[in-house]
Each structure stands twice: as C-alpha cells, then as structure tokens.
C-alpha cells in the first residue's frame, strides 16, 4: 500500500540547513525500514504551468498553479506502508524532520 | 413485548458487535459486515416468532450474516478483488500483544481511530459497536438522517481506502488509543446527560444508557485498565442522580438541592465499589478515576451540608496536575467557594475569563458567586450571559429562575 505525503508550506525554498540534514537522516531510516518509494522537493507554485488539451484545437497553456492558495505543496514523499497506522507514524517523524505540516493520502 | 421480542432485543445488545466484528475480520470490509449483520437481525425478526429462538442465537446470526455477505459479494461479482484485499489487509495473524484480543476490541479501535473526525468516531461507534440504527443516531445528535448516513458512509470509505487497520494497537500506542475510545464514550454520555438543543428533552437516557453499556463492554475487554474503570464509575455515579436532577417542571436541580433519597442506590454502590477497587491498586489515577473519586465524595454525603469539601478540593488539586484545562480550574474554584468562601473563588474564576468567556458554566458559576456576595446587578448580567450561551432546556429554566429571584 502506498501513501502520498504532501509537505504543506506557505513559503518556497525555506528549508534551513538543519531541516535538510534532518530530512536526509529521516530518508535513510525510511530506506532502511523498506518504506521509501520516492521523495522530492518542488519549486515555487508560480513556476507551474497548467495544460488543457481536452479540446479539439491546440493544447492551452496557462501560466501559474491551478489553485491559488495561501499554502501549497512544497514537496512530497511516497511511502510504502502496510496500513495507515504505520503511514501516520512515519509521517509524524517526517513532519518533525522537515518541520512542516503534512497531509497523508492513500493511493488507490 | 412478547418473549421472542425480548429475546431479539437482548440478543441484539449482546451479539450485534460480535457479529459485525467477526464479519469485518472475515471479509475485510466494514460496509459488507454492517449490511450483512443488519440483514441477519432482520431475518431473526422475521423467523424467530414462528420458528422459535435458536438454541445458540449468536451462532445462528453469524452463520446467517456470513451467508448474506457471501451472497452480496457474489452479486457484485468482484469477489476475487474483495477476497484478495481481505486476505491482504486482515489475513495476517494477530500480533501477540499481552491484552485480550477480542474481535470487538479491534472493531472499537477502528471506529475510534484518530484519523477520523470526533463526530465520525462517535457515529461509527454507535452504529458498529452499539448497533444503533442511522435514524436513531441522527435523532440522538439532532442531525438530519441523510447527513448522518453520509457521515457513516464516508467514514467506511476512508477506512477502506486509507487502510485504517482492524487490530488492537501495539502496547506502546495502547494507552493513547484507549483514552481516545474513552473520550468518544464520554462524549456520548455527556450529550445524553446534558442534551443540547431547544426542542429536546433535557436528558436523553438512551444515550447515557448506551454509553454505560459500551463502557461496560470495554471494561470486560480491558479489565486491568484503570481509566476504563474510572470512566465507568464516573458515568454510574452521575447517572445515579439522573431522576433527582430535573424537576417535574423540567428545571435543573443543583446538586445541593437534590432529593438524595431519589438517587439510584445500586448505581451509587457500584460506582463506589469501582472507585475503591482503583484506590486499592495504589496506581496513580488518571483524570476519569479522579473525577469518579470526586463524584464518590459527593454521593457519600447523606446531606449536601455533610459534603467533605476539603476532600473534593484535594482531588481537584490532583486533577489539575493531570488535566490543565480551564474547565477543571473552574470546577476546582467552585469547590473552593464552599471551603474558603465565594470571594476567593470569584478571584480565581475571573482570571479564567479569557479562556472561558464563551462557556455558559463559567458565567453561571460567576453569577452564583456574585449573588452570594450580594452583588445583584453584576450577578444578573452574568446570569444573562449564561442563559444566552446555555443549550440545555433544564439549565436555561434553572438559570432564568435564579436570575428572576435576585433582589435588585
């Protein structure tokens, strides 16, 4: 079972050196425990482009994120975990490491 | 009620959670388990009056429910997916945990999972463990039936999609998770005891009774847990005063004015027995055990004037150390008023205004203390504020009368 862990932030590029070190240490634990699938940081929402190719003509590109909001997803993990209890425990450790709020969402 | 009706009601109380739990374990799907259990009980209502109550009603219900569940899975022709899923999520052998591993206990922990909203936990617990119907739960919490149905449906979907586990938490997580379960049960009890809403009975006994019944069940499953015993004792000692607490005209009667002869002596005795049993363990008590002990002091006094207030205040001092909530501080101050006088208590309560100005009991306590100090005008304003915020009809009636009795 896989879970998407979104990192919630209101600034971009705001991780401190200490936070980065804590995230690295956490990732190592994640790999050692067999829970690592993927992780990555994202650039600013203003760097995003929305694409709509549903119509007959050329795809439409729109500058900026699909959702304007005060908070955004600044990065993410994908965990492998047998159930939500394990995912929540890992997410709690991840929240501590990156010093941000997180959202856990299961994959279908 | 005929003998068969009575038997069905009794069996429903005793077996509902067991049937749902055993089907959840087998099929790994709360929705299938709930529906099949409901169908099995409907079949019992239909057949037992003619065929007679089977010698082992629980086994009859489980077998019938199992058949219904399998029928449904076949109908949906997704049996391979579902069964595989069931194997994956719930087929693992239970871990040795050193606690009684009853299937109902697993079900309780699933329904009270911290990833579910509190109101959802309450609804799920009443449905899956208590066996209340959706309309009954909706009535209990004054919510539209469709809204309550959706809440339960969404919860079942989340449990499945996010794979909220069906198991007793590990020993290290257990105390925290048990306290989550107890919070759900206490909330159900309180909603019954101090029912909110202008058009509802001031006490909804079906909710207090259900909360007590479920807490008794948890106590059977976790007999060593002090807080479970504490919560049960607390509920019993509060419920014992139920009939003495509201007047014939629907007005709240304060503890000091209650007819103590009308208290339920059997419930008081059982509550006292549990409190003594916990004291004898000499383990440090948690909040429910301390609250139960406070209620034991109150229910030990034959007359309100005989109340051992120094004991009550000492227990509140202990409670403040484990529960820093301003509501505890407020209740401690109310007890202090009996020992050190209203002026001392008022000074303490006034310091809580930032945190409690939206809470009716804060204003009601102030109103009473100001009245005792002869500060009628301020007292009237505090009663007004309390009445404005109070949601229980009996409490509003009581506060209004006290306000109107003030000499201006």
Q: For residue B232, give the 3-state DSSP assignment.
A: helix
Are the C-beta atoms of B373 and B350 separated by less than 8 Å? no
Mean pLDDT of chain A, nearest integer = 93
Query: How many structural domains is chain A composed of?
Result: 1
CA atoms within 13 A of residue B85's CA, in its CB half-sphere:
19
Q: Report the residue from A82, A84, A108 with minimal CB separation from B115.
A: A84
**Record: contact A83-B89, CB cut-off 8 A:** yes
What pLDDT was estimated at residue B90? 40
Residue A82 confidence (pLDDT) above 70? yes
Comparing CA positions, the residue from B297, B303, B367, B302 lying closest to residue B334 is: B367
The pLDDT of residue B199: 66
pLDDT surpassing 60 at residue B100: no
Query: What is the per-residue pLDDT for B195?
Result: 73
Asked if the Cβ–Cβ distance from A83 to B163 is below 8 Å, we say yes
Evaluate if residue B103 carries a pLDDT over 90: no
Q: Which one of A2, A3, A85, A86 would you mutate to disrupt binding with B, by most B Cβ within 10 Å of its Cβ?
A: A85
- A92/B contact by beta carbon, under 8 A: no
Q: Does the pLDDT of residue B293 top 60, yes or no? A: yes
Q: Is residue A62 part of a domain?
A: no
For B168, the closest chain A residue by CA position comes to: A85
* pLDDT for B154: 95
Residue A88: its H or E element: helix A84-98
B113 touches chain A (CB under 8 A): yes
Inter-chain CB proximity A106 and B163 less than 8 Å: yes
The model's pLDDT over B130-148, given as tens digits with 9 standing for 90+, comes to: 888 898 888 877 789 999 9
pLDDT at B92: 40
E-strand ranges in A1-108 read 2-9, 36-41, 49-52, 60-63, 72-80, 101-106
pLDDT confidence of B86, banded at 50, 70, 90?
A: low
pLDDT of residue B250: 87
Q: Can you list the pairs that B128-137 forms with residues at least 24 positions away whose Cβ atoms lie under 8 Å? A: B128/B17, B128/B20, B128/B30, B128/B34, B129/B16, B129/B17, B129/B20, B129/B104, B129/B214, B129/B217, B130/B16, B130/B17, B130/B210, B130/B213, B130/B214, B131/B12, B131/B13, B131/B16, B131/B17, B131/B20, B132/B210, B136/B206
Whether the per-residue pLDDT at B99 is higher than 80: the answer is no
pLDDT in tens, B362-380: 999 999 999 999 999 999 9
Long-range contact set of residues B150-158: C-beta below 8 Å, sequence gap at least 24: B151/B119, B151/B120, B151/B123, B152/B120, B152/B123, B152/B124, B152/B127, B153/B31, B154/B120, B155/B116, B155/B120, B155/B123, B155/B124, B156/B30, B156/B31, B156/B34, B156/B124, B158/B115, B158/B116
What is the predicted pLDDT for the residue at B74? 87
Residues of B in contact with A106 (CB under 8 A): 161-163
In a domain, A36, yes or no: yes
Residues of A in contact with B113 (CB under 8 A): 84
CA-based nearest residue to B233, from B151, B295, B310, B166: B295
Model confidence at A38: pLDDT above 80: yes
Quick one: three-class SS letters along B139-153? HHCCCCHHHHHHHHH
Binned at pLDDT 50, 70 and 90, residue B83 comes out as: low
Please indicate whether, in this complex, the C-beta atoms of B161 and A84 are within 8 angstroms of each other. no
Best of B163, B164, B169, B172 to mutate (most A CBs within 10 Å, chain A)? B163
pTM of the predicted structure, to 2 decimals: 0.83
Q: For chain B, what is the mean pLDDT?
A: 89
B28 to chain A, any CB pair closer than 8 A? The answer is no
Please report the domains of chain B, with CATH numbers, ordered by start residue: 1-92 (1.10.1740), 100-221 (no CATH), 224-323 (no CATH), 349-408 (no CATH)
Instruction: Answer with the residue of higher pLDDT: B67 or B77.
Output: B67
What's the pLDDT tens digit per position in B226-249?
Answer: 999 999 999 999 999 998 998 888
The per-residue pLDDT for range B302-348, each reduced to its tens digit, is 999 999 999 999 999 999 999 999 999 999 999 999 999 999 999 99
**Is residue A48 predicted with pLDDT exceeding 80?**
yes
CA distance B245 to B267: 15
Residue A80 domain-assigned?
Answer: yes
- In tens, the pLDDT along B182-223 reads 999 998 898 888 777 766 677 778 889 989 999 998 898 889
Does B169 contact A108 at a Cβ distance shorter than 8 Å? no
Answer whether A84 touches B (CB < 8 Å).
yes
Is residue A53 a part of any domain in this protein?
no
Name which residue leads in pLDDT, B38 or B168. Answer: B38
Q: B115 vs A106: CB contact, 8 Å cut-off? A: no
Chain B contact for A60, CB < 8 A? Answer: no
Query: How close, in Å, is residue A58 to chain B by CA atoms?
Result: 37
B274 phi and psi, to 5 degrees? Answer: -65, -40
pLDDT score of A69:
87
In a domain, A22, yes or no: yes
Q: Is the pLDDT of residue B85 over 60?
A: no
Predicted confidence (pLDDT) at residue B87 exceeds the cutoff of 50: no
Instruction: Give the span between the Cα atoms of B31 and B86, in whole angstroms.
Output: 13
CA distance A60 to chain B (A): 34
Q: Would you state the pLDDT for residue B78?
A: 58
Domain extent for A101: 2-44+71-106
Q: Is residue A65 part of a domain?
A: no
Query: What CATH number is attached to the domain comprising A88?
Result: 3.30.70.1060
User: Residue B365 corresponds to which tokens in the numbers above?
Assistant: 């306590």
Classify residue A61: in a domain, yes or no: no
Residue A39 lies in a domain: yes
Reported as a pLDDT band with limits 50, 70 and 90, residue B383 is very high
pLDDT above 70 for B84: no
Is any Cβ of chain A less than 8 angstroms from the Cβ of B106?
no
pLDDT score recorded for residue B253: 92
């Amino acid at each position: 079972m896989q879970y998407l862990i979104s990192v919630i932030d209101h600034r971009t590029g705001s991780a401190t050196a200490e936070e980065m070190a804590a995230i690295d240490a956490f990732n190592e634990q994640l790999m050692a425990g067999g829970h690592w699938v993927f992780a990555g940081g994202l650039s600013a929402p203003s760097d995003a482009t929305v694409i709509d190719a549903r119509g007959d003509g050329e795809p439409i590109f729109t500058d900026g994120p699909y959702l304007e909001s005060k908070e955004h997803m600044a990065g993410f993990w994908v965990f492998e975990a047998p159930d939500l209890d394990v995912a929540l425990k890992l997410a709690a450790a991840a929240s501590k490491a990156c010093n941000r709020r997180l959202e856990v969402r299961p994959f279908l | 009620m005929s003998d068969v009706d009575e038997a069905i009601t009794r069996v429903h109380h005793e077996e509902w959670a067991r049937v749902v739990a055993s089907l959840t374990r087998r099929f790994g799907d709360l929705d299938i388990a709930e529906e099949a259990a409901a169908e099995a009980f409907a079949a019992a209502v239909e057949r037992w009056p003619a065929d007679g109550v089977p010698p082992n009603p629980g086994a009859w219900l489980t077998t019938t429910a199992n058949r219904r569940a399998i029928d449904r899975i076949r109908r949906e022709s997704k049996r391979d997916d579902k069964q595989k899923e069931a194997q994956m999520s719930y087929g693992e052998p239970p871990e040795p945990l050193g606690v009684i591993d009853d299937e109902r206990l697993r079900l309780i922990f699933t329904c009270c999972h911290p990833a579910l909203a509190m109101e959802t936990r309450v609804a799920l617990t009443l449905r899956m463990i208590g066996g209340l119907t959706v309309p009954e739960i909706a009535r209990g919490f004054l919510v539209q039936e469709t809204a309550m149905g959706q809440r339960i449906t969404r919860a079942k979907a989340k449990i499945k999609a996010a794979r909220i586990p069906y198991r007793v938490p590990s020993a290290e997580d257990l105390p925290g998770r048990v306290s989550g379960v107890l919070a759900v049960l206490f909330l159900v009890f309180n909603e019954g005891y101090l029912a909110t809403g202008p058009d509802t009975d001031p006490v909804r006994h079906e909710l207090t009774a259900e909360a007590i019944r479920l807490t008794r069940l948890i106590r059977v499953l976790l007999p060593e847990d002090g807080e479970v015993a504490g919560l049960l004792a607390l509920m019993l000692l509060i419920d014992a005063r139920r009939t003495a607490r509201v007047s014939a005209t629907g007005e709240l009667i304060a503890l000091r004015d209650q007819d103590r002869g009308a208290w339920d002596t059997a419930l008081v005795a059982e509550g006292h027995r549990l409190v003594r049993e916990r004291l004898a363990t000499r383990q440090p008590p948690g909040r429910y055990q301390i609250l139960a002990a406070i209620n034991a002091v109150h229910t030990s006094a034959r007359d309100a004037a005989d109340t051992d207030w120094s004991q009550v205040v000492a227990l509140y001092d202990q409670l403040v150390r484990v529960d820093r909530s301003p509501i505890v501080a407020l209740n401690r101050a109310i007890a202090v008023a009996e020992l050190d006088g209203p002026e001392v208590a008022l000074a303490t309560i006034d310091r809580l205004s930032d945190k409690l100005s939206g809470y009716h009991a804060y204003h009601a306590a102030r109103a009473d203390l100001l009245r005792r100090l002869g500060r009628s005008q301020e007292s009237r304003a505090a009663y007004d504020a309390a009445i404005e915020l109070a949601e229980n009809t009996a409490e509003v009636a009581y506060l209004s009368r006290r306000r109107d009795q003030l000499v201006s």
